[in-house]
Structure 1
Amino acid sequence: MKSSAKSAASRENHLTVRRVERQQHLIERLHAAADRITVGTLARDFGVSARTIARDVERLRQSGVPIDVTTGRGGGVALGRHGRIPAIAFDLREIAALMASLTALGPTASPSATSAMDKLATALTGGSMT
């Protein structure tokens, strides 16, 4: 592989990791919000363009994340409210897939990524989870 191709691949991987981290933080931010947040506010807070936030929101929605989008005056984005988050049971292959994804992101990229990786590892080893 030529040096320029390696450099382009490395840059693409770096941008992908940054996008995934931003999308994780976006979900967490929307979950913590009491009301809709404008795309402009999110863009300013995350240090990216409004278009980048709009693309992130659309990717997340296409992936099944329940994000409500209201356009026009007074609009914004909000995470769909569905009450308490139920317990989820994963089989071994699902745990492995999640762990591999967290490893690619960086299992210490955020406190929630670290916590998720710890819980998955505990579940994989048959330990008790708190």
Structure 2
Amino acid sequence: MNARTDLAASSRDGHLALRRVERQQVLIERLHAAHGRLLPAGALAEQLGVSERTVARDVERLRLSGVPLEVRPGRGGGVRLAHGTRPVPVHLDLPEIAALMSSLAVLGPSVSDSAASAMRKLALAIAGG
């Protein structure tokens, strides 16, 4: 490969990774909004505009990252946030807050309502208020 091909492949891979992160963010938001109900992979795939296999890969990536998801295979199955999942207070230092803000900036701080809300809260935390 030459430099131009490498750059194009890198750009494409970066774009695909960004789309995957955006899709996974929407997936988590949909599961949160379901209030513990199982959502069928087919319905999630349709809502996200991807295949069921892509949803399955996204769910597995999220699970491996520590997101508490339950998957029930087969008829009547689906995906949901684990029962009793509640956020606990998180204490971050300035470099950790800056790292999260940098990640949100790459994703696009307004890609979703929750991303925009998180960015506002992180900015307030840095400002001390």
Partner of 1:90: 92
CA shift for structure 1 position 40: 1.0
Partner of 2:4: 3
TM-score calculated relative to the size of structure 2? 0.91
Partner of 1:76: 78
Partner of 1:24: 25
Partner of 2:52: 50
> Which of 112, 115, 124 lines up with 1:113 in the alignment?
115
- Which amino acid in 1 is paired with 2:125? A
State the distance in 2 between where 1:115 and 1:22 align. 18
State the distance in 2 between where 1:3 and 1:52 align. 29
Partner of 1:60: 62
TM-score calculated relative to the size of structure 1? 0.90
Long gaps (5+) in structure 1: none
- Which amino acid in 2 is paired with 1:26? L
- Which amino acid in 1 is paired with 2:74? G
State the distance in 2 between where 1:98 and 1:39 align. 29
Q: 1:42 to 1:83 in 2, by over 3 A?
A: closer
State the distance in 1 between where 2:119 and 2:12 align. 26
State the distance in 1 between where 2:109 and 2:23 align. 15
| Cα-Cα RMSD | 1.4
CA shift for structure 1 position 87: 2.7
Partner of 1:78: helix, strand, or coil?
Answer: strand
Partner of 2:102: 100
CA shift for structure 1 position 101: 1.1
Long gaps (5+) in structure 2: none
Partner of 1:51: helix, strand, or coil?
Answer: helix
